[in-house]
Amino acid sequence: MMSKPLVGVQDYEREARWRLPKTALDYYQSGALDEVTLKENKEAMDRWYIRPRFMRDVSKRSLATTLLGHKVAVPFGVAPTAMQRMAHPDGEVATARAAGRIGAPFTLSTISTFSLEEVAMRAPNTLRLFQLYIYKDRELTASLVRRAEAAGFSALVLTVDAPYFGIRRADVRNQFTLPPHLRMANFQSDEAASNHLHTSDGGSGINEYVASLFDPTLTWEDVAWLKSITKLPLVLKGILTREDAILGVEAGAAAIWVSNHGARQVDGVAPTVNSLRFPHPLFPDGGPSRGGGGSE
Ligand SMILES: Cc1cc2nc3c(=O)[nH]c(=O)nc-3n(C[C@H](O)[C@H](O)[C@H](O)COP(=O)(O)O)c2cc1C
């Protein structure tokens, strides 16, 4: 018998609940600490309303826009999410290909289970951005940047909100580790950055991985360092305040990605969508979502 088609994210979520191993499911769905912000992210989004205007000729429609100068068919894209092959053997390659099929941009996580070269080769027509975590080993980090350039990624997305990882209680209880058949594919198979997550010291393996390998000393000066080693446009991901957005632009960011990391980092921060409130000092005349459409 044909299985019923999955229609909408709720269907995929339900399917994932019974298909995925508990450890993977918990990793994918958890937020930090009490998960207050996780709940509020969704509630705040649900409280944003559409204000439709009717009686306009809608026979020709387009959602196309540009992102960093590149044409995209839709005004959204795929955010970087780590370790996708815990969910499906085709992992990040499938997601990148699917994004390309609808003309959406795709962002590959540093801690992916297909390498950036594999994703580039198997999703050549997708607009690809590379999300960067800065490792204590700066040569290792610089080599990721060079490889992303060589593989035709269009931008670097520096995640600024993760000098340490948020405490996700389910991962602590599960003593989360990466299944033995998978590894962090952007690194050589004999490197700690590839294999460290196969063990846990009794807590969440991902937190132990990050604490031992990521650089928690990062400041705006490191943005200058990153800019000095690449020509790719730099997006800063995880900014939640006007002050940091301004500092980011002054540091040379091509774009600011307002995000609370899906509430996985700091519990108690505002829901992401509320951090975008207009009128905004950066957009004194109301911001790009206003004007023209009669939003009075
Ligand atoms: C399972 C999972 C893994 C994630 N892995 C990463 C990651 O490796 N790097 C990163 O910058 N963000 C990561 N994120 C955060 C997402 O990129 C994104 O910020 C989040 O889903 C919220 O979307 P938004 O940023 O559009 O608000 C992850 C989120 C989830 C749910």
Confidence class of residue 292 from pLDDT cuts 50, 70 and 90? Answer: very low
Cα separation, 212 vs 210, in Å, equals 5
Instruction: Please give the structure tokens belonging to residue 149.
Output: 């350039």
Q: Cα of 61 to ligand 1 centre, how many Å? A: 30
Q: Is the CB of 262 under 6 A from ligand 1?
A: yes
pLDDT, position 280? 54
Packing angle of the helix pair 22-29, 9-19 (nearest 10 deg): 140
Residue 285 within a domain: no
Q: Which of 1, 31, 20 is nearest to 168 (CA)?
A: 31
259 lines ligand 1 (CB under 6 A): yes
Give the model's confidence band at 50: pLDDT under 50 very low, under 70 low, under 90 confident, else very high.
confident
Cα distance between residue 203 and residue 175, in whole Å: 5
Within a domain: 130: yes
- Would you give the DSSP letter of residue 101? H
* 56 within some domain: no
3-state secondary structure of 36: helix
CB 262 within 8 A of CB 281: no
| Residue nearest ligand 1's atom 29 by CA | 81
Which tokens go with 115? 């390498």
Instruction: Report the length, in residues, of the chain.
Output: 296
Strands 234-239 and 155-159, bridge-based pairing: parallel
Q: Which amino acid is at 62?
A: S
Measured from the Cα of 29, ligand 1's closest atom is 31
Q: What's the CA gap between 224 and 232, in Å, rounded? A: 13
Give the range of the structural domain holding residue 103, as residue numbers without chain letter.
27-46+63-276
Residue 39 has pLDDT above 50, yes or no: yes
Atom of ligand 1 nearest to the CA of 110: 8
In this predicted model, what pLDDT tens digit does every residue of 243-281 receive, in sequence order? 999 999 999 999 999 999 999 999 999 999 999 875 555
Omega cis (within 30) before 80: no
Q: What is the pLDDT of residues 105-141, one digit of tens each?
A: 999 999 999 999 999 999 999 999 999 999 999 999 9
Is residue 15 assigned to a domain?
A: no
Atom of ligand 1 nearest to the CA of 261: 19
Check pocket membership of 131 for ligand 1, CB cut-off 6 A: yes
Q: Is 51 within the bounds of a domain?
A: no
| Of 293 and 107, more confident | 107
CATH number of the domain encompassing residue 138: 3.20.20.70
Q: What is the mean pLDDT of the chain?
A: 93
CB-based contact 147:117 (threshold 8 Å): yes
pLDDT at 291 exceeding the cut of 50: no
DSSP state for residue 108 in the 8-state scheme: E
- Total domains in the fold of the chain: 1
34: tokens are 């009490």
Q: What pLDDT, on the 0 to 100 scale, is given for residue 283?
A: 55
- 261 in ligand 1 pocket by Cβ < 6 Å? yes
Catalytically annotated residues: 261
Ligand 1 in reach of 235 Cβ (< 6 A):
no
In a domain, 70, yes or no: yes
Answer yes or no: is 5 within a domain. Answer: no
Q: Which two tokens stand for residue 279?
A: 């009128």
Ligand 1 probe mutation, 81, 144, 157, 160, most atoms within 8 A of CB: 81
Closest Cα to atom 10 of ligand 1: 80
What per-residue confidence (pLDDT) applies to 279? 56
Does the pLDDT of residue 28 top 50, yes or no? yes
pLDDT for 285 beyond 70 = no
Taking 50 as the threshold, does the pLDDT of residue 290 lie above it? Answer: no
The Cα-based distances of 132 to 81, 112, 116, 162 in angstroms read 12, 11, 11, 11
Measure 57 CA to ligand 1 centroid, in angstroms. Answer: 38
Does 232 fall in a domain?
Answer: yes
| pLDDT (mean) for 155-182 | 97
Is residue 16 predicted with pLDDT exceeding 60? Answer: yes
